[in-house]
A and B are shown apart, each in its own frame.
Chain A
Amino acid sequence: MFTVMLALLPGTAALAFVVSPAILINILISIVVALILESLVLVLRSKPVARSLSDGSIVLAAWLFALCLPPLLPLWQLVIGAAMLTLLGKHVYGGLGQNPFNPAMVGYAVLLVSFPQTMTLWFAPDALNQYTFTELLNFKLNPDALNTIISATSSTTNTTGFDAFTQATPLEQVRIRRLLQPDLLNSSAQLPVRAFDQVQMQTSPQAFEATPDGTVLTTPVSVAWPWVSSAFAIGGVFLLYKKTISWHIPTSLLLSMCVLHGLHSLLTHLPALSVAEAVFYGSAVYAAFFIATDPVTAATSQAGKLVYGTGIGCLIFFIRAFGGYPDGIAFAVLLMNLCVPLIDHLVMRATCK
């Protein structure tokens, strides 16, 4: 657990730097809430509190959960999420090692279906940098204050309302950008040109800002997002090196997702995400190394892990390409968690003859 926490540090730092230090508030609060609730449950179940807490599993789960959240999620929603994680994700099943679903993803999924608006509210890079830590905390406690600030900013920057300050999730922004880019639509018949465009877009997103296509394009998609994903990837490689996780799940997940995204962008006439965008502008890397590799909820055998990772990769693609949610990591992971007993059973039957 502690190795995983260590591996989370670069990603967390990158996220706090790129998005906002408010991420750190999220992490801190969810850890505190989860710790309090877990202690309470352990006392009620008359289990040794100190020993159970010291394994660090709940701290890690709360941390992983908080990393998925938008920075200015109202505090009360954050508390609900952390509570769901601890109670519904972990302890209703009997605590550590017994839960079939990834607790962090349970907490996240509950929030996503309950508060879709606040859960998809991200901010333009640098938009939050002008505020101090206490102001950020105030926003979280008092969502009305945030709204006032947003409208005030909108009037000063002379852009149409909310969108100058806030954004959809980074992956969604890239997707919308694609939809609104007529050049890309036209060139979809000519693959070489299109590929060139993609490269250009990744290397210099600013190039697209000039196009007067509406409000979404006036705010840049941060080039910093790939850096966040890379920071998580560094942590993941560290975990692989330490043999805390095996290569099976991350590799199969990313590979299957890339293959499907690649095929999709090649075959469809509609604009689709490129492979690199799919990997770096969502939370795919984070999920591949930190969420899907949770040993409790993943398949146990090596063959099973490959199936499990591939399943998540495919589901991520299908949710992104055809589903209603922009990223779809949480639901992909939870759905595959559901399949784990079946995978384990089938693999066992195949190997234990």
Chain B
Amino acid sequence: MKLLSSLLTSLEKQTARQYRFRGGIQLPGNKKGLETPIKTLSLPDELKLPLLDYSHRPLQALVKPGDAVSRGQWLAKGLASPATGTISDIQHAPIIHPGGLNANCIVIRTRSDAEPEAQAEQEKKTGVAANSKLTAGTQTVTPNIASIKGLGGAAFPLLDKINALGNRELTTLIINAAECEPQIACDEALMQSHAIEIVFGINHLVALTAAKRCIVAIEDSKPLAIEKMLQAIEASNLTKDADTNTSLVKIELKTIGTRYPTGAELPLIKVTTNLDITRNMHPTDHGILCVNVATAHAVGLIYKQQFADSRVITIAGNNAAKPCNVRVRFGTSIEHILAQTENLAAIDQSTIHCGGPLSGFEVSQIDLPVTAQTHCILINQRQKPATPVACIRCSACADSCPAELLPQQLHWYAQANDIERCTELNLAHCIECGCCDLVCPSAIPLTATFRYAKSQQLALTKQAQQAAQAEVRFESREKRLAKQEEARAQRLLKRKEAVASNKSAKQNTDGIQSALARAREQAHNRAQARRNSKKDL
């Protein structure tokens, strides 16, 4: 009987673990050489911060060149200064972007001697004691929470994410620690070295959002991170057991299978809760929130009265001399990072790739500032890109697509610039994971095509919006003009009526007419005389 029940429970565990999302690919891990502890870089002399929000919309600067700024001060809405110093310039400079775009950037000349001062200031400013008791829902939102951006790759502001819930109850808070892409190990390194701080942050997040359940999902390829996290979570759960007053839920740890891209939001929700989110729904509609583990750590930092203006970046790639994980301030240039980590040697023979090997993209220069989105820099051997050949409609791309799209059809229409059809085929739901690129036997750059099509789509919607706006304006103008015209016609009519009524009263119009005729004759004669005198000359 005992055997049977233990068998059943193990079976339950097995089946519980075997939720699978559709599509995706099995990839070799390849995270060698990243076991070293996280290095913290020295503060660079110059930080460059693009004035853009997470979806590359421009931000209005709140400072001007010459201003002195302190660490944590708002430079723009949602953009806190990562260091104390002076604004030396606001310039148009290249940023990390798949299309190699330029954007307005705030350049800060930093003062490293002001660092302890800024820290003391921060502790004074935020009155929340680190060890105050947590109860769900009563947690105050300190202003610095607004500076936290999602560190999973999209850099979506954390507060906006929480606010998207609205009045709905948060049934499940999922802490995304899957880190499914090969070669990236920044979250793994963070979990190995800062598990307690992460759990501290998670508890604050739970308190902040009043979550009913909290699951930390880690891929089974990270045993050490799982072990460390498990220890920290158990310790935290024990204190919750001891404290009968707390209403905080216990944190659950879920080991999930290694399959790319489990770390993406919808696959992760499917894998952890077996919930399929349909196309027109949002996770928040189901009361689910996914927060990256590094973001949870940043929350912990804020509640420990520190700053959340840095992130861990993985430096890897087959040409990286010293693969490592480094903590860098936002706005640090890639060049500075590579120089400090001694990876600058083979740079001439290498390509620099920002983001993971699948979801990332190549950048053409290294003088680019890193942002919250940059989780990985790959230094790869320069390779001749494979020449794409014709699509043979093998549909391997569709089979591997975690968003259940038809990449081959999308590619077809994107090439023909038929953006409307792309929209019909749910182009917007492409998460740009790069699975299709990897499986394509014809080496067609599908993701790049989709990025292009998306930009076209964006341009089209903008155009449509502008057209709609112009139409509204035009219509209101027409209305206004018609109104004016009507008013004028009315006025004229009134005047005419008035004139007509006067006509009968005053019969002296003939006199006026004859006077006008005389005046005209005089003018004519004068002109004649002038012409004659010119002829004489």
| B279 engages A353 (CB within 8 Å) | yes
A352 contacts B426, C-beta separation under 8 Å: yes
Q: Are A55 and B406 in contact (CB under 8 A)?
A: no
Interface size class on chain B is 20 to 34
Does B392 contact A300, Cβ atoms closer than 8 Å?
no
Asked if B389 and A301 make an inter-chain contact with CB atoms under 8 angstroms apart, the answer reads no
Known: A300-B395, A300-B398, A301-B395. A352 touches B406 (CB 8 A): yes
Q: Is the CB of A352 within 8 A of B425?
A: yes
B387 x A348 contact (CB < 8 A): no
- Say which residue of A57, A296, A351 sits within 8 Å of B393 (CB atoms): A296
* B387 nearest in chain A by CB position: A51
What's the least CB distance linking A343 to chain B, in Å? 12
Complex CA gap A353/B409 in Å reads 15
What is the CB-to-nearest-CB distance from A323 to chain B, in angstroms, rounded to a whole number? 29
- Contact call A295/B393, Cβ cutoff below 8 A: yes
Determine the chain A residues whose CB is within 8 A of the CB of B398 once the complex forms: 300-301
**Judging by beta carbons under 8 Å apart, are B392 and A352 in contact?**
no
Would you give the 0/1 interface string for A297-339, flagging 1 where the beta carbon is closer than 8 Å to chain B? 0101110000000000000000000000000000000000000
A98 interfacial by beta-carbon distance below 8 Å? yes
Which residues in B have their C-beta under 8 angstroms from that of A300?
393, 395, 398, 406, 408-409
**Contact A96/B279 with A295-B394, A300-B395, A351-B404 known, Cβ cut-off 8 Å:** no
- Give the residue of A57, A301, A353 whose beta carbon is less than 8 angstroms from that of B406: A301
CB of B406 within 8 A of CB of A97, answer no
A95 at the interface (CB under 8 A from B): yes
Known A-B contacts A51-B387, A301-B398, A352-B425; A296 and B406 likewise in contact (beta carbons under 8 Å): no
Residues of chain B contacted by A57 (CB below 8 angstroms): 392
Q: A352-B424, A352-B425, A353-B279 are in contact. Are A51 and B404 (CB under 8 A)?
A: no
B426 to A, closest residue via Cβ: A352
Report A66-77 CB contacts with B as 1/0, cut-off 8 Å.
Answer: 000000000000
Inter-chain contacts of B424 with A (CB < 8 A)? 352
Say yes or no: B395 contacts A55, CB within 8 Å: no
Contacts of B405 in A (CB 8 A): 352
Whether, in the assembled complex, B390 has its beta carbon less than 8 Å from a beta carbon of chain A, the answer is yes
Residues of A within 8 A of B114 (CB): none
- By beta carbon, the residue of chain B nearest A351 is B404
Count of CB-CB pairs between chains A and B under 8 Å: 44
Contact A348 B408 (CB under 8 A): no
Measured between alpha carbons, how far is A246 from B396 in the docked complex, in Å? 10
B432 at the interface (CB under 8 A from A): no
Cβ–Cβ < 8 Å partners of A52 in chain B:
389
Point out the residue from B392, B399, B425 that lies within 8 Å of A296, measured CB to CB.
Answer: B392
Q: Smallest CB–CB gap between A139 and chain B, Å? A: 37
Within the complex, the shortest CB–CB distance from B178 to chain A, in Å, comes to 25
List the A side residues contacting B481 at CB < 8 Å: none
Query: Whole-angstrom distance between the alpha carbons of A52 and B392 in the complex?
Result: 13
Taken together as a complex, chains A and B put the C-alpha atoms of A55 and B390 apart, in Å, by 10
- Does B406 contact A348, Cβ atoms closer than 8 Å? yes
Bound form: Cα–Cα A35–B391 in Å: 20
For the complex formed, measure the closest distance between the CB of A342 and the CB atoms of chain B, giving whole angstroms: 14
CA gap between A344 and B404 in the complex, in Å: 15
In the complex, what distance in Å separates the CA atom of A98 from the CA atom of B409? 13
Within 8 Å by CB of B409, from A246, A296, A348, lies A348
Chain A residues near B409 (CB-CB < 8 A): 300, 344, 348
Bound form: Cα–Cα A353–B429 in Å = 12
CA distance A97 to B425 in the complex (A): 21
Determine whether the beta carbon of B395 is less than 8 Å from that of A98.
no
Residues of B within 8 A of A (CB): 279, 387, 389-395, 398-399, 404-406, 408-409, 424-426, 442
Q: What are 14 A-B contacts defined by CB distance under 8 Å?
A: A51-B387, A52-B389, A55-B389, A96-B389, A96-B392, A295-B392, A300-B393, A300-B398, A300-B408, A300-B409, A301-B406, A344-B409, A348-B409, A352-B406
**Given A51-B387, A55-B389; 18 other pairs, CB 8 A cutoff:** A51-B389, A57-B392, A97-B391, A97-B392, A97-B393, A246-B399, A295-B392, A295-B393, A295-B395, A300-B395, A300-B409, A301-B395, A302-B399, A344-B409, A348-B406, A348-B409, A352-B406, A353-B279
- Ranked nearest first, the 7 interchain pairs of A and B with the lowest CB-CB distance are A97-B390, A295-B394, A300-B395, A96-B390, A97-B391, A295-B392, A97-B392
Q: Which residues of A contact B (CB under 8 A)?
A: 51-52, 55, 57, 95-98, 246, 295-296, 298, 300-302, 344, 348, 351-353
